[in-house]
Amino acid sequence: MRYLIGVFLVATASFGQSVGAISGVVRDPFGGMQTDATVQAKNVQTGTVSKGVSKAGGKYTIPDVAPGTYDISVAVPGVKAFEQKGVTVAAAKTLELNIKLEEGTQLSTLGEDGLAIAADRKRHNPPAGPTPRTVDGKPDLSGVWWSPVTTEPGKADWLPGAAATAKQRLDNNAVESPQAHCLPSPVTRLGPLFQLAQSKQSLVVISDDESPGFHQIHLDRSAHPKEPDTDLWYGDSIGHWEDDTLVVDRVTFNPRVWLDQPAHPHSDKLHVIEKYRRPDLGHLEKTVTVDDPGVLANPWTFKQVADLAAGEEIREFICAENNRDLVHMVGK
């Protein structure tokens, strides 16, 4: 019996020593400490995903990481997605990996967008309380919300052509960005403030910093038009309820709209599924699945959480009258 106990203790100790960890500091594009950033480590061999969230001082830790090779990624609204491939974690060792985020496009030429996002986060104080509901018992998603924070970035497996297009756009300083020319922002972008206005017939999504900045999700029809309208920058959107989750189906997007902030394109096969949940008064959960076999090897799913921006309101945004970005958009 003593022998068996000894073997068990040795095996337990060996197992405890077999794992490593990743830790470090996440900095924002302006040198400050980035909090609430989800750092994801994906094992190249097994596909296992481990995560850590940056706290005070930008510090994060991903514990209990099996030895191996990992791809590290961080996605934060308003900045360029961070990715570092081929990071090696050794047994019983803590790998120190400090992360410096970068601005995404020239749209923050003067530093205003990133600084505003950082300032907005400090003002977050979502109220507590139960989920509000409409007269028919459905969760009421209405309200003004801060830009969603990505909690699970997922893994986007871009096809070579899509990756090359995105690189070309960014290498050219994103001079062709539709948003800089007073056209809608990328399909997967919201914020820095957005509003949801819900009725029984529709849910209207309003973003405060783009033109036209709104689109309707039709809740009173179950199918897309038989004749697709490819002039729709926001796509044709229909929604239905599955218990307390609103499932939104979006198709037929204008070919000129960008898919995401890192400048990836889309094809005419783009199909976006969004799932909205309001678990309580102060929070909105959103899961997005991007399915586009023209640019992605597999569907890409990521998750976000938005805080209720109590006391804030959406102001009108007339891009053509006050477009300070365009004069700074200089290609290479």
Chain mean position to CA 205: 17
Say yes or no to pLDDT of 224 above 80: yes
Parent domain of 9? 2-103
**135 occurs within a structural domain:** no
Q: Is pLDDT larger for residue 49 or for residue 13?
A: 49
Beta bridge partners of 276: 246, 286
Same domain, 157 and 259: yes
Band (pLDDT 50/70/90 cuts) for residue 150 is confident
CB-based contacts of 160, cutoff 8 Å, min separation 6: none
Same domain, 64 and 171: no
Band (pLDDT 50/70/90 cuts) for residue 81 is confident
Band (pLDDT 50/70/90 cuts) for residue 245 is very high
Instruction: Copy the structure tokens of residue 206.
Output: 């309003």
Same domain, 91 and 69: yes
Same domain, 118 and 26: no
**What pLDDT is attached to residue 59?**
93
CB-based contacts of 3, cutoff 8 Å, min separation 6: none
Query: Quick one: which H or E segment has residue 236?
Result: strand 236-242
Beta bridge partners of 60: 24
Rounded to whole angstroms, the Cα distance separating 304 from 240 reads 20
pLDDT tens-digit readout, 89-143? 999 999 999 998 876 544 444 344 555 555 566 667 888 999 999 999 999 999 9
Band (pLDDT 50/70/90 cuts) for residue 9 is very low
CATH of the domain at 240: 2.40.128.20
CB-based contacts of 124, cutoff 8 Å, min separation 6: 146, 307, 309
What does pLDDT average to over the chain? 85
Looking at the chain, the whole-number percentage of residues with pLDDT higher than 90 is 58
**34 occurs within a structural domain:** yes
Same domain, 146 and 82: no
> What domain count does the chain have?
2
Same domain, 265 and 322: yes
**157 occurs within a structural domain:** yes
Band (pLDDT 50/70/90 cuts) for residue 152 is confident
**108 occurs within a structural domain:** no
**133 occurs within a structural domain:** no
Rounded to whole angstroms, the Cα distance separating 55 from 126 reads 18
**285 occurs within a structural domain:** yes
Same domain, 196 and 316: yes
Same domain, 117 and 99: no
User: Do 331 and 175 contact (CB within 8 A), yes or no?
Assistant: yes
**229 occurs within a structural domain:** yes
Rounded to whole angstroms, the Cα distance separating 94 from 67 reads 10
11-15-20 Cα angle (round to 5):
160
**323 occurs within a structural domain:** yes
Q: Which residues of 140-149 are buried (b: 16+ CB within 10 A; e: fewer)?
A: ebbbbbbbbb
Of the CA atoms within 13 Å of residue 168, those in its CB half-sphere come to 8
Same domain, 245 and 148: yes
**What pLDDT is attached to residue 325?**
61
**What pLDDT is attached to residue 104?**
54
Q: Which of 46-50, 98-102, 179-183, 275-279 has the highest mean pLDDT?
A: 275-279
For residues 8-17, average pLDDT: 43
Same domain, 91 and 120: no
User: Do 304 and 285 contact (CB within 8 A), yes or no?
Assistant: yes
**What pLDDT is attached to residue 275?**
98
User: Do 217 and 205 contact (CB within 8 A), yes or no?
Assistant: yes
Same domain, 251 and 197: yes
For the full predicted model, state whether its pTM sits above 0.95. Answer: no
User: How many of the other CB atoms lie within 10 Å of CB of 216?
Assistant: 16
CATH of the domain at 56: 2.60.40.1120
pLDDT tens-digit readout, 248-282? 999 999 999 999 988 999 999 999 999 999 999 99
Looking at the chain, the whole-number percentage of residues with pLDDT higher than 70 is 83
The sheet with strand 38-43 has its strands ordered as 49-53, 38-43, 68-74, 82-89
Instruction: Copy the structure tokens of residue 273.
Output: 């599924």
Same domain, 77 and 182: no
